[in-house]
Copies of this chain bind each other. A is one copy, B any other.
Amino acid sequence: MSSRLNVAVIGAGYWGPNLARNFRASSEWNLAAICDLDLERARRVGDSVGGVPITASLDEVLHDPMVDAVAIATPARTHHPIVLAALDAGKHVIVEKPLADTRERGVEMVERARENGLVLMADHTYCYTPAVLKIRELIEEGALGDILFVDSVRINLGLIQPDVDVFWDLAPHDLSIMDFILPGGLDVTSVSAHGSDPLSTGKACIGYLAMPLTSGGIAHVHVNWLSPTKIRQMVIGGTKRTLVWDDLNPQQRVSVYDRGVDLALQSKETADTRAANISYRLGDTWAPALPEREALANVASEFAAAIREERPARTSGESGLRVLSVLEAASASLGAYGAPSSVASYIKEVQEA
């Protein structure tokens, strides 16, 4: 299979043009069509990438035997019917985050893709930035040792969304990145969510997620629409080294610190001897050079590779489902005044399947 794959972009709103531009620029893809109910909007996108066919009919796209795959950038509540229709029409699918608007619908989508033997990829774009790819690589090769904690802050004076709270708006980024970089994925069994809506907008504008990691340690996310300053920072502590990703520092986005606490554990010890065996490392800092490549170009390549190699994408439907599961549990915790809420166990079933 050496020729280009054909893809249609469904949805010409905010994100669609970016998908269109990157599929258009890719040497692995032929951008076959732009589909939007608003034909004028489709036309603008089609023109901007140099004259791609447009249509207002999803059916037309799905029944076109030339189309190998669809990229869906429509509102979250429409993902479920469109993705199922595409999978039933034999198309591979990449879909915007979040995978669906409920976990249950996400499960159905993931199972349908498996049954039909098709790729269902979550467009977790951030995972394909040079910084996150490097972080995954470093963790994979053991540069950080075992992971002790992950702390993510994503705050900004952000647009208050009409339909979702700050957790569903921003946390999918943090959760999908954690799922991507952690050795066992985002493996958590419960989540505590603390939110606040101090302006009475009708939804949480400030949110915190605390998640004990099954492997030990803790993951935490702080999202906030009301911060005057912009922070996008993730600290990943390991037994060997600790990494700080500061996405807003283009001159040094990723720093790896050879600093930390060492415990000389012994067979028999008490609290006192334990304290005596603690030592502190204050070693060098290292900031790897990062290639400059647009994340969506990497997304397009990965989608093509998954299809050709008949394997799940690195950000598979299952990863999208894990994110959904945490978000649903977070909403439940929020309703229970922050009491820990179980994350649905399908995560494991899917992993083991």
Contact = CB atoms under 8 A, between A and B. Distances in A.
Interface of A: 47, 50, 148-149, 151, 155, 157, 159-160, 162, 190, 192, 194-196, 198-202, 205-206, 208, 210, 212, 216-218, 220, 222, 224-230, 235, 237, 239, 242, 244, 251-252, 257-261, 263, 265, 271-272, 274-275, 278, 280, 282-289, 337-340
Contacts of A242: 226-228
Contact of A337 (B157, B205, B216, B340): B340
A282 B156 CA distance: 12
A250 B192 CA distance: 34
Contacts of A194: 192, 210, 212, 218, 220
- Copies held by the complex: 4
A263 B198 contact: no
Contact of A160 (B47, B192, B208, B278): B278
A218 B199 contact: no
B287 A286 contact: yes
Given A208-B208, A282-B289, A339-B340, A261 B226 contact: yes
Closest 9 CB pairs of A and B: A228-B257, A194-B210, A196-B218, A148-B198, A198-B217, A285-B287, A228-B259, A228-B242, A162-B275
17 contacts: A160-B261, A162-B272, A190-B337, A196-B212, A198-B216, A198-B237, A200-B265, A202-B274, A206-B218, A228-B260, A229-B244, A229-B251, A252-B285, A286-B287, A287-B287, A338-B338, A338-B340
Contacts of A206: 148-149, 151, 218
A229 B257 contact: yes
Contact of A50 (B47, B157, B198): B47
A208 B227 contact: no
A66 B230 CA distance: 48
Nearest to A199: B263
A271 B202 contact: yes
A196 B338 CA distance: 17
Contacts of A251: 229-230
Given A194-B218, A274-B201, A284 B282 contact: no
A264 to B, nearest CB: 11
A195 B220 CA distance: 10
Contact of A226 (B224, B226, B237, B244): B237
A214 to B, nearest CB: 12
